[in-house]
Amino acid sequence: MFSADRMRLVVLDRDGVLNKESDAFIKSPAEWVPIAGSMQAVARLNQAGFRVVVATNQSGIARGLLDLDTLGLIHAKMRDALSDVGGHVDGIFFCPHGPGDGCNCRKPLPGLFQQISERFDVDLAGVPAIGDSLRDLQAASAVGASPMLVRTGKGKRTLGSPDLAADIPVFDDLAAAVDQLLKVND
């Protein structure tokens, strides 16, 4: 899947993959609660030489539910939780826009993935992208990344979507997806 001279990168959605999902949005650091094993899964990717980045829609900003400072505090809590288990993310890319704002960065559009490609100067073809919603998978597919679905967060609902491609690999959670990635890339 990866050549020795190519950057090993994994793109993760945040809510529903790293932390528990909320239909009412994650609006404060107190509401950000990691999914069991997800922080350790990121640390395992780091230890195996992968760069890990987060690509997340955060329309709560456009909806007035939180501001950029609060989002920064949420991400600081996430970074601290990762650090506590020896992990880190190499970047957090987010879309602050609402569904009707017409931006290119709101998944399922590929803008966040294009920003990642530009920032790291890497072609995302074949790069694993792990999400829990159809829009995560569609954004990954739009840039040639390899989408993977987890059943956590909105994943079980996504499994019932008629638009879900039959060849998308499905895992119970991020830890199980990372198990497979590390097995394939040994």
* Nearby residues of 73 by Cβ (< 8 Å), 6 or more positions away: 28, 29
Q: Which two tokens stand for residue 35?
A: 């999914």
Pairing of strands 91-95, 146-150: unpaired
Backbone angles phi, psi at 114, to 5 degrees: -65, -35
Q: Which residues pair with 92 in a beta bridge?
A: 54
Residues tagged active-site: 13, 15
